[in-house]
Structure 1
Amino acid sequence: MTTSQTRPRTATVVPHHLLIGPDTHGVTRYAGEVAGAAGALIVRDAGLLKEGGRAHLHVTDRLISPDPTAAAELVEGLARRVRLTVTLHDVPQPTDGPRFRARAAAYGRIVRASTAWATNSWHEHALVNRWCIADAHGTVIPLPIQGAIGGRAETDAHVLGVFGFVYPGKGHRQVARAAAALRRGGLLATVRVLGDAAKGHADEIDELLRNCHARGVPVEVSGRVPEAGVRDALRRVGVPVAAHRNVSASGSVNSWIAAGRRPLVRDSAYAREMAALRPGTLTLFDDSTLVPRLEEALRRPTTTWIKPGTDLGPRLEDTAAAYRTWWAAVAG
């Protein structure tokens, strides 16, 4: 039996993990994966956390409350009861629209209330400092890749695939316009949407279908892809594309990489950071280069696959180790 005298020092500072929301939500699922890899106890009810104990929360305000101010108040209340560390997801930025100021203020309050905070990229860390709370100092622990690179698979060579929830700015419309341009040039590209509409955005799918029909572009909407079928679905498309604007971090890009694909990703500070973290896993494009990049990928399909032997780190075990080191450092 492991006792308090023999237990490794880091084990004593791994906080309980409070999971909020359904496991189908990417943030909740990721929080559970980190907890499992780090050896943390998962708690679903904040009321079960011991007064004065340690807890960690992966924060996206929408999972806590539809009202950002209420979300901040709930986290502040939790931080008064326990020593709380947080990982910030969906960091606010002006493209959030009317909710931006409220979300930025809420994240600033959450940072101030927590014992320590983390983001998944330096890009997000900079967003926190620029829009939420100036001169705050957090840590950065990148999202891991889970999966092993296999050989190339048979694909539907003409299909441009976009994975994840459908919402404004995700890039589906731009991919449809690019497909129309390719078809005018003699390449019979089609669009496959691997995902369902985000909550409140069912009209986006209707609009996409109308736009594709008007442009003469065949489009297929799969709806939500079951977890067990994601890898095969991502390996089936001809060209993987992640065209969303104003991204702060992207689980969908990591899913493409985990499936062995080298997606075309819109150029951004975050995309450049990830391309430097994992060389050889992304192909960047901007508004002026999407069509030629797609044309090259359709003509040279090997460019859409990651080469065997490419380093995909950090892996989940690396991420868990980074969290344990950080929790040990802030435990005092």
Structure 2
Amino acid sequence: MPTPPLTIALGPPTHGVTRFAADCARAAGTPLLEVPESARLREALAAHPGSAVHLHITDSLFGATPDEAADTVEVMARDRPVAVTLHDIPQPAEGTERCRRRMGAYQRIAAAAGLVVVSSEHERRLCDAAGIVVDAVIPLPVPDLGVASSPIEPDAGPHPEAVRRDERSVGVFGFLHPGKAVDVVAQAVAELAAAGDHSVGLRLLGSPAAGHEDYVRAAVETVRAAGGHADVTGHIEDGDLARVLGEVTVPVALFRNVSASGSINTWAAA
């Protein structure tokens, strides 16, 4: 029986793609190598000379630029068989020039790999349009969040995530960045507040993606300036997900770029 490939979970453990890579390897019972940053990847692989690897790729984890990410994969593929699952497939909605640069990198990565996997038919169509041959579509799973713990009572003491019983909320979940249209959701909640409805709050369930702290801060201030309330929870521990997501009245996934989405599947699980 062939030896299964070594899955590389590259990046911080809280990153969705990194975490998914690790979860897939553990679920399949296949070898896993966790590497917190791309600068340490070559050193980590030196202990596994020639081993076939499976990479879960979004370009920002593999290099400071899309071209650097493609360089990383091409160098790796010179010494070993490489399979890839492509995430965050580039698409025109993210901006013409950014899409062009990222898609060029994804084309190079796919050309270096012996097997290419995506997570949705939509992503396959994006790859087809770019001349990337996809070998398999494997949908993302809906996770099991378990049973929600008891909701927080109003008199339970200070909790940054506490929700008043009479409060309705609009929630955006996951790493927060412009692709999730947090600004549009914030503006909608602000308009409710400006019209006199202060019973609906904005709940941003997660942390700002790297480089987008000011964007998230501006969204919160948009709501507060209109007299509404808004908060950012920061990272939510696994054991709290079912409860925290279940407290939201209206979950919103207003993605500017349609894709396979772990955050949507987590909403579905909740």
* TM-score of the two chains, using structure 2 as the length reference: 0.82
For the pair 1:203 / 2:214, whether they are aligned, the reply is yes
Asked whether the 8 Å contact 1:125–1:138 carries over to 2, the reply is: no
Query: Quick one: which amino acid aligns to residue 227 of structure 2?
Result: G
Question: Could you tell me how far 1:99 is from its partner in structure 2?
Answer: 2.9
Root-mean-square deviation over aligned CA pairs: 2.3
Counterpart secondary structure, 2:67: helix
CA contact (8 A) 2:107 2:132 kept: no
Could you tell me which residue of structure 2 aligns to residue 14 of structure 1? Answer: 4
Please tell me whether residue 219 in structure 1 is matched to residue 230 in structure 2: yes
Is the 8 Å Cα contact of residues 153 and 236 (structure 1) preserved in structure 2?
A: no
Listed as ranges, the matches of 1:291-310 within 5 Å are none
- 244-253 or 109-118, which moves further after superposition? 244-253
AA aligned opposite 1:69? D
Alignment match, 1:191? 202
Are the aligned partners of 2:171 and 2:250 in contact in 1 as well (CA < 8 Å)?
yes
Q: Distance in 2 between matches of 1:153 and 1:237?
A: 14
Are residues 173 and 254 of structure 1, via their aligned partners in 2, closer, same or farther at CA, if it must alter by over 3 Å? Answer: same
Q: CA deviation at 1:169?
A: 3.3
- Whether 2:98 is the aligned partner of 1:99: answer yes
Match of 2:158 in 1: none
> Quick one: distance in 1 between partners of 2:58 and 2:8?
13
Indicate the residue corresponding to 1:284 in structure 2: none
The one-letter amino acid paired with 1:94 is: P
- 8 A contact 1:46–1:78 mirrored in 2: no
Q: 1:160 aligns with which of 129, 152, 170?
A: 170
Q: Secondary structure at the match of 1:231?
A: helix
In 2, Cα distance between equivalents of 1:149 and 1:22 = 24
Change (3 A) 1:234 1:94: same
Separation in 1, partners of 2:75, 2:259: 27
Aligned twin of 1:176: 186
Equivalent residue number for residue 23 of structure 1: 13
Match of 1:119 in 2: 118
Are 1:83 and 2:81 counterparts? yes
CA deviations on 1:187-217 (whole Å, 9 max, x unpaired) are: 8311111112111111112211231133332
SS of equivalent to 1:19 = strand
Contact 1:89 1:120 in 2 (8 A): yes
**1:90-141 deviation per Cα after TM superposition (whole angstroms, max 9, x unaligned):** 111123334322211110011111111000101111112223xx16232100
Larger relative contact order (C-alpha < 8 A, sep ≥ 6)?
1
- Output one character per residue of 1:204-241: Cα deviation in whole Å (capped at 9) or x when no partner: 12211231133332212222223332222111122211
> Is 1:144 aligned to residue 141 of structure 2?
yes
Identity rate, percent: 39
Structure 1: gaps of 5 or more residues: 1-8, 260-332
C-alpha displacement of 1:142: 0.6
Shift of 1:13: 4.5
- TM-score of the superposed pair, with normalisation by structure 1: 0.68
Residue range with higher mean Cα deviation, 96-105 or 29-38: 96-105
What CA distance in whole angstroms lies between the structure 2 residues aligned with 1:123 and 1:147?
A: 25
2:70 is the alignment partner of 1:72: yes
Shift of 1:39: 1.4
Residue 46 of structure 2 corresponds to residue 56 of structure 1: no
- Which letter does structure 1 place at the counterpart of 2:143? Q
Q: Greater share of helix residues, 1 or 2? A: 1
Contact 1:15 1:54 in 2 (8 A): yes
Alpha-carbon spacing, 1:214–1:158, altered in 2? closer, same or farther (3 Å): same
How far does residue 66 in structure 1 lie from its aligned partner after superposition? 1.1
Deviations 1:136-157 (A, max 9, x none): 2321001111116758976755
